[in-house]
Chains A and B, each alone.
Chain A
Amino acid sequence: MIDFFSDVQNLGLSMLTALFAFTLWLLRTNRLDAHITVRWLFVELIAIALLAMWKWLPVFGYTSGLADRELILILVIGAFVFAAILILDILVLLSKQARQIKTLAQELALLRQRTDVVEDYRMSK
């Protein structure tokens, strides 16, 4: 049983590490905003730490009493990774739109300034 638990834990850690690496890859390829990435990597590191220390957490005593702790662990990891991938997908979209909004806001500010200059010139004539 303990060996099976270790296998599940190792599988979970591998999945979370892969997710961590995927997040860094999204940053590298400029798909994910750096400031969103900061928060997200923080959440992933906490998840990795929780899973690595699962045996020593109070929740382990509770799940072991249910005699299905491995199943619960698998479900928790599976749910986390599924939610994480969904959230990452949304964050990539948000990052892209944030970049577009930034560009639009800058161009709008520059255009307004040019319009003001032209208006002032026309008024002075």
Chain B
Amino acid sequence: MTDISSKILIIVPSHNEEANLPGLLDEIFKTGADVVVINDASSDNTEQVARDKGIQVLSLPVNLGIGGGVQTGFMYAVRNNYDIAVQLDGDGQHDPSLLAKVTAPVISGEVDCVIGSRYLPSDKDENYKTPVLRRLGMHFSTGILKLASGLVIHDTTSGYRALNRGALEYFVKCYPTDHPEAEALLMLQQAGFRIREVGIKMRTRNNGESLFTFWKAAFYPLRVIIGFIGVFSHPWQGNKK
């Protein structure tokens, strides 16, 4: 069980986010939580921008994608004895002021993982406009997740997540690479971790472009299916203990 004195780390995976990071980091400072920026082999000044703010930076020498980047943050969290880690994208779409809402169920020990959801029926973000391709991909992964495990998650692609120590240690051992969100949920569910969604408002990206391109979206359903096959066929992943 996690208590209110929990040590919280915010993990900010970033790839070419020099324009979005300063504002986001200023907002994160206000929460009082520790923060680490994962610089995923950016070609711009992402690393320097974070260092100028006095932030710890994990700079990857080669681009590992969102999965490899986030897993590096989980490794950092476990090695530095954090109780809870919150993943918060470097594009500024996730509002750090919602940190307390996202972490509360983990801090109280009710669940092991919380997803910040835009589409929770009881607390839907009506203002957020999801691009068509992303929406299709998300409906697909939501449907297949429900089919495969019975788990109903309305926002499978949300990267705003809080994890407790047990889930962190589990993901240090194995975490999916590209577009890992839906697969990671299935892994957690199969391993017996408890997952819950909380409603959040998400902002639109101010600068830069999404990495979810047309071709990535076209292959997304196949990737999800393959990822799910991988989860079901690796017996060692099936137990959180």
Contacts and interface: CB of A to CB of B under 8 A. Distances in A.
A38 B56 contact: no
Interface string B46-79: 0000000000111111101000100110011001
Given A27-B229, A27-B230, A109 B222 contact: no
Given A30-B234, A108-B61, A113 B68 contact: no
Interface of B: 38, 56-62, 64, 68, 71-72, 75-76, 79, 176-178, 219, 222-223, 226-227, 229-230, 233-234
Given A30-B234, A105-B61, A105-B64, A38 B223 contact: yes
A21 to B, nearest CB: 12
A24 B232 CA distance: 12
Given A109-B60, A113-B58, A34 B72 contact: no
Nearest to B39: A109
A110 interface: yes
Size bracket of the A interface: 20 to 34
Contacts of B56: 113, 117
Nearest to A111: B58
Which 3 pairs across A and B sit closest by C-beta, in order of nearness?
Answer: A28-B233, A109-B58, A106-B72
A35 B62 CA distance: 18
A28 B233 CA distance: 5
Contacts of A33: 177
Given A34-B176, A38-B223, A110 B68 contact: no
A109 B226 CA distance: 29
Contacts of A117: 56
A110 B219 contact: no
B42 to A, nearest CB: 13
A117 B71 CA distance: 21
Contact of B226 (A30, A34, A106, A108): A34
Nearest to B58: A109
Contact of B64 (A28, A37, A106): A106
A102 B227 CA distance: 18
Interface string A38-50: 1001100000000
Contacts of B62: 101, 105
Contact of A106 (B60, B227, B234): B60
B114 to A, nearest CB: 25
Contacts of B75: 106, 110
A106 B58 CA distance: 9
A56 to B, nearest CB: 26
A110 B79 contact: yes
B57 A113 contact: yes
A109 B79 CA distance: 13
Given A34-B177, A101-B62, A109 B230 contact: no
Contacts of A30: 230, 234
Contact of A41 (B60, B72, B226, B227): B226
A33 B226 CA distance: 10
A68 B158 CA distance: 57
Contacts of B58: 109-110, 112-113
26 contacts: A24-B229, A27-B226, A28-B230, A28-B234, A30-B234, A33-B177, A34-B177, A34-B227, A34-B230, A35-B177, A35-B178, A37-B226, A38-B219, A38-B222, A42-B222, A105-B68, A106-B60, A106-B68, A106-B72, A108-B60, A108-B61, A109-B59, A109-B60, A110-B76, A113-B57, A113-B58
